[in-house]
Chain A
Amino acid sequence: MAKSNKMFADKAFELIKELERSSQTIPPFDDDGVRQVLEEIKAIFEENCAQAANYSTSGDRTLWPLLNFRHAALQRNKRCLLTYLYQRLLRIKALRWEFGPIIPEDIKTSLCEPEVNFFNTYSKSLASYMRSIGDGQGIDLTGDLRPPKSLYIEVRCIVDYGKFELEDGEVIYLKKNSQHYLPRAQVETLVRQGILQHIT
């Protein structure tokens, strides 16, 4: 069982550290790591079971501390693994607030299938909650993220976006490098998506 100077739960802790260190929005799901941790958990558990069975037939208590130690390692493994998964979920949730109901293609490749399912369910239930507020009027909570300072903001267009219709029916052309003076509330989403840049 003992390999070089590796300790129990090293791999699980590694998962968390990797996630913490990565500068990407979401690093790829570490399928292999997760599987290894699960295998370790299983291995420890089986070893413990075998020895516990031995203890209950013979009443030999010499292995008692070892059993306890293994149990602690088992718990730590579980905890680290769940932390890893949960931290990823938090980042996935942040995606919904930042990019809306569709995951950008380049990020999607980093997620595992259950995570995509989680995102879709989360997105759906958030959307139906937002629709139900205020007697069916609905509010988009992902807007109005910052306290409003002024009604209009100066924006520069970063990509060729094309036509954009304002609430009052006026249509403007968003061409690359053009600058506009527009109502903040209506262009906030475009700013967050990186199509427009807020300049001061």
Chain B
Amino acid sequence: MSESDIIEPLSDSEHNGEYEDQVEEEELITAQKVLEIVETAWQNELCAPEILQHQADMLELMLGQVAHMEENMKDLDKNDFRFIVHQMELERIRYVIASYLRCRLQKIETFTRHILNEEESRDVSEKRLSAEESKYAQEYADNVEQYFQHVALQYMPNMQRAEAEQRIVRPNLLSHVFIKANVDVPAVVVGVDDEEVDLTAGSQHIIPYQLVSDLIHKNQAQLI
């Protein structure tokens, strides 16, 4: 196999975005596009006070792509300039993925009970956590609860149900965030007195998260 054979799919997938990957629903999506989605999800996750919809499918595609690239690179000369560039790109992608998942774990650990309660009331299609994450969240909740029981709660007299409720940590959904509108969004309600603002595509705003959370979920705006 000549060297150009190895390089071709790599550079296509990375830079031209012409390389197309088959997705389950017969939908064609470029590796470039996947990376963009993952990066946006990462950025939103880092900025949002609450946990957002998981992107397990996209992550899986991305990881597959990374593995594929690694495989291709094995046969390359280590001192080739292109090798270094590709390797660096891979490291960046890996960092984005790891950072994204870490950020989610941190939210899960902080708001465990709150998130689990919310997940219970959601439909299967609207679950925010992936299957692995909800398993982890459940284990974590049990672990913390068991620890508290063991060390302190069992010695406290007259523990009431209401007090367990008081211990739930909730995210502050009204904290202000920076957003950028991806498309024109007319008549967004801001503030309590039904004041409305039209967001033009590309414009940037500071606004309490809760007022625009649905725009983030619909990808009409993103957090910056």
Residues of A whose CB lies within 8 Å of any CB of B are 34, 38, 41-42, 45-46, 78, 81-82, 85, 89, 93, 112, 114-115, 117-118, 121-122, 125-126, 129, 132-135, 137, 139-141, 143-144, 146-148, 150-151, 184-185
- B173 contacts chain A at the CB level, 8 A cutoff: no
Contact of B143 among A125, A134, A141, A185 (CB under 8 A): A125
Question: Are B152 and A38 within 8 A (Cβ)?
Answer: yes
- B36 contacts chain A at the CB level, 8 A cutoff: no
Residues of B whose CB lies within 8 Å of any CB of A are 59-60, 63-64, 67, 84, 87-88, 91-92, 94-95, 97-99, 101-102, 105, 109, 132-133, 135-136, 139-140, 143-144, 146-148, 150-152, 155-158, 163, 167
CA distance A96 to B133 in the complex (A): 18
Question: Are B157 and A42 within 8 A (Cβ)?
Answer: yes
Question: Are A89 and B144 within 8 A (Cβ)?
Answer: yes
Query: Given known contacts A93-B109, A141-B102, is B140 in contact with A85 (CB within 8 Å)?
Result: no
Contact of A78 among B94, B102, B146, B156 (CB under 8 A): B156
Contact of A151 among B91, B132, B158 (CB under 8 A): B91
Describe A's contact surface by its main secondary structure. Answer: helix
Question: Are B155 and A141 within 8 A (Cβ)?
Answer: no
Question: Are B151 and A85 within 8 A (Cβ)?
Answer: yes
Residue of B nearest to A77 (CB): B156
CA distance A151 to B84 in the complex (A): 8
Residue of A nearest to B99 (CB): A144
CA distance A45 to B167 in the complex (A): 20
Question: Are A129 and B136 within 8 A (Cβ)?
Answer: yes
Question: Are A45 and B136 within 8 A (Cβ)?
Answer: no
CB neighbours (8 Å) of A141 from chain B are 98, 101-102, 105
**B32 CB to nearest chain A CB (Å):** 19
CA distance A184 to B87 in the complex (A): 12
**B169 CB to nearest chain A CB (Å):** 9
Residue of B nearest to A113 (CB): B150
CA distance A60 to B20 in the complex (A): 81
Question: Are A122 and B59 within 8 A (Cβ)?
Answer: no
**A58 CB to nearest chain B CB (Å):** 22
CB neighbours (8 Å) of A93 from chain B are 109
CB neighbours (8 Å) of A143 from chain B are 98
Query: Given known contacts A93-B109, A115-B147, A133-B59, is B94 in contact with A144 (CB within 8 Å)?
Result: yes
CA distance A133 to B139 in the complex (A): 16
CB neighbours (8 Å) of B158 from chain A are 45
CA distance A184 to B92 in the complex (A): 12
CB neighbours (8 Å) of B109 from chain A are 93
**B70 CB to nearest chain A CB (Å):** 11
**A196 CB to nearest chain B CB (Å):** 18
Beyond A114-B150, A121-B143, A140-B98, 20 additional pairs, beta carbon < 8 A: A34-B151, A85-B152, A93-B109, A114-B147, A114-B151, A118-B147, A122-B140, A125-B136, A126-B105, A129-B105, A129-B135, A134-B59, A135-B64, A139-B97, A139-B98, A143-B98, A144-B94, A144-B95, A144-B99, A184-B91
Question: Are A144 and B98 within 8 A (Cβ)?
Answer: yes
